[in-house]
Chains A and B, each alone.
Chain A
Amino acid sequence: MCGNWNGCEPAAIVNKFTRLKAIAAPLLRINVDTDAIIPSREIKRVSKVGLSDGLFAGWRYTEPGGRVEDPGFILNRDPFRQAQILLSGLNFGCGSSREHAVWALAEWGIRSIIAPSYGAIFYANCARNGVLPVILDNDVVEDMARQVTDEPEQHLISVDLVDCTVTAPDDTVHAFEIDAADREMLLEGLDAIDVTRKRDDEILAFQARDRLRRPWIYL
């Protein structure tokens, strides 16, 4: 366990994540890339906000750049408009590093994603923005997707970061794994820079030693 991350005083509170019971929207495609989550043309300001309108714009709207909803797209259908959990396929969030993908999802209302695997940068970005990325087997995800398709308001999914479990609508419990550091950051809503700052002495000592060992690195 990562004891060092416990007991740190949070200086800034980011979105905390502990438990969530919510409507889940199934978007069972593989390799959903961050260009699809938020097309670059939808990133119009040097800002982390104002992005939810552009979420999945290429699939959500009938025309590129338009705002007429495609009724066939899952997030345009009631009650999935209220979904806080997204179920998806292999390699979710692959592609571009743009953190705008997570910001757009979070702003739209998604607090947790459940998929068999993720793009590495997207995965790292999630925990830093209060979004919990859960990894479960594809079969489990597909089974849950089937369960939420009928009467999604009755068939809620529970995600518990304290116990590291997901409870399906049929009450089956699935354990998941997450790095201690990411878990801590989400549970406590910690600001990662503040946490690292507490090790500044160590960092500076490393730098001083390294300067002697690898002088050519230092410009």
Chain B
Amino acid sequence: MGHTIIDKLWNEHCIADLGDGTSLLYIDRIFLHERTGSVALKGLEDQGRHVRNPEQVFCTMDHIVDTTPGRGDATRVPNGTDFIKTTRDAARAAGLNLFDLGDDRQGIVHVVSPELGIAVPGVTLVCPDSHTCTVGGIGALAWGIGSTEAEHALATKTLVVKKPAAMRVRFEGHIPFGVTAKDMILHLIGKYTASGGVGYAIEFAGQTISDLPIEARLTLCNMAVEFGAWTGVVAPDAKTFEYVKGRPYAPKAEAWDRAVEHWKSLVSDSDAEFDREITIDVAQIVPQITWGTSPQHETGIDQRVPDPRQEPDANRRLSMERALEYMSLEPGTPLEGIPIDAAFIGSCTNSRLSDLRNAANILKGRKVAPGVKAICVPGSTQVKLAAEAEGLDRVFTEAGFEWRESGCSMCFFAGGESFGVEERVVTSTNRNFENRQGPRTRSHLASPTTVAASAVLGNLADVRKLERLRAGSNSE
């Protein structure tokens, strides 16, 4: 029987079979950020342990840094500066690669790591952050860990991991107008639930995935964890190689040729067997929006808020009822047209250059509706600079968006900035949990284009309609 890409990546890094399906895996690269990396580095220090191969460990500041222009170490997060300073000092003492505030390589860890060529095909990469699976989009085996496991990886360059089952999710068909990778992954989670991927590593495959640009593959894999999966991966192909080539930490000269030769073998064999297969017809997907407090609480923008009474499963019904109460929504209300207070474009899911370009296309020549607070936070300083070089910042600011320095910003609330109590936000982020973006803040997850369209109209909006207006008689 052939091997899946997951088998291949696993076997290549297996130092020892510990029995019972568990392996001692070699970890190529480790990324840390100031929120959870600080405690891991401090833990190691307290135990008198050292980082093995610090040259393969990277560290940036993203989670609780201020994102207003002209920022320094000060942050609105209580004691946030402690986290920044502790991380900086520990990273310097350990000799790690540090992309600090003020360095133009700084940014959200999962945006920075492929951008700098740290995540390349075939590497094992871990970070004490659940969205590490993002870089599966480049063909890396990457997953989130806790701080204690991070200490283990730092000290030994290995992790003890139980091999997950393998699932293949095929997306087939042509992507309809107005639909993005974000809508594809939300649709998958909505259909198969937020625990549908528990126990699995997922290969995303199919014609649609081959057609997707790399940044869209990163968006897709980013939310594998929201599907409950251990990680997600897309087999590297010519597009991947083209994306990786020339990036600062990517292989160069002859090493490049050897690497590509090897990377080409990192595909599932035609006779490989997966423990589970799902196929999604992309043509059926419309722009998606969440209405509740779990990513599985989602549906098409042309639908209505569902009625919990029609849910046969008691647990799900209860969770729907709680969610609608928190979100202050009535069953049967059309989602399109629900008024919003704020719009947010950012996060490791949707803050890369292509996301900003897509949103800017919608915003060009338009204004954010009165009373809507709109913020755009580029995913990295590199993204910010590139966007500014092509004038996207002006499109955003002229439309009425704030244009920020890079960081996680209001993707999550850590006691600093928030959208406010009971404010309704349409957001390009990945989690709509209770209180995630602020105490009692109500979050609706969507693609950056849906966020932009909603910001313009002042309510949850169908981006397809807005664009048809612009197109006039064009019949897209």
Chain A residues proximal to chain B, CB less than 8 Å: 1-5, 12, 28-31, 33, 35-36, 39-41, 43-48, 58, 64-65, 89-91, 94-99, 102, 117-122, 124-125, 128-129, 138, 179-181, 192-193, 196-197, 199-200, 202-203, 206-207, 210, 214-219
Contacts and interface: CB of A to CB of B under 8 A. Distances in A.
B272 interface: no
Contacts of B130: 95-97, 121
A89 to B, nearest CB: 6
Contacts of A39: 413, 435
30 contacts: A1-B20, A2-B20, A4-B16, A29-B319, A30-B318, A31-B194, A31-B296, A40-B414, A41-B415, A43-B414, A44-B415, A47-B39, A58-B435, A64-B421, A94-B228, A97-B36, A117-B228, A118-B198, A119-B198, A121-B145, A124-B146, A128-B149, A129-B148, A138-B315, A181-B18, A181-B162, A196-B158, A202-B24, A215-B258, A219-B249
Closest 9 CB pairs of A and B: A64-B439, A41-B415, A216-B251, A99-B146, A125-B146, A91-B195, A2-B19, A40-B414, A216-B255
B202 to A, nearest CB: 12
Contact of B433 (A35, A118, A121): A35
B94 interface: no
Contact of A90 (B38, B315, B414): B315
B398 interface: no
A94 B229 CA distance: 10
A89 B193 CA distance: 14
A121 B144 contact: yes
Nearest to A126: B146
Contact of A217 (B123, B152, B162, B421): B123
Nearest to A2: B19
B147 A99 contact: yes
A90 B428 CA distance: 26
B60 to A, nearest CB: 16
B436 A117 contact: no
Interface residues of B, number: 81
Interface in B15-42: 15-16, 18-22, 24, 26, 28, 35-36, 38-39, 42
B79 interface: yes
Given A31-B294, A95-B130, 10 more contacts: A12-B47, A29-B319, A31-B319, A48-B39, A64-B435, A65-B439, A91-B195, A96-B130, A124-B145, A207-B26
A137 B440 CA distance: 32
A121 to B, nearest CB: 5
Nearest to A185: B160
A117 B123 contact: no
A172 to B, nearest CB: 21
B215 interface: no
A44 B158 contact: no
A44 B145 contact: no
B172 interface: no
B315 A28 contact: yes
Contact of B152 (A2, A90, A94, A196): A196
Interface in B217-266: 228-230, 249, 251, 255-256, 258-259, 262
B432 to A, nearest CB: 10
B281 interface: no
Contacts of B145: 97, 121, 124
A89 B313 CA distance: 13
Interface in B130-165: 130, 143-149, 151-152, 155-158, 160, 162, 164
A216 B433 CA distance: 40
B426 to A, nearest CB: 19
B152 A102 contact: no
A147 B86 CA distance: 48
A203 B152 CA distance: 13
Given A31-B294, A46-B38, A179-B22, A215 B195 contact: no
B22 A45 contact: no
B128 interface: yes
Contacts of A129: 148
Contacts of A219: 55-56, 249
B407 to A, nearest CB: 14
B467 interface: no
The interface centre, meaning the residue of A3, A30, A122 with most chain B CB atoms within 10 A of its CB, is: A30
B224 to A, nearest CB: 11
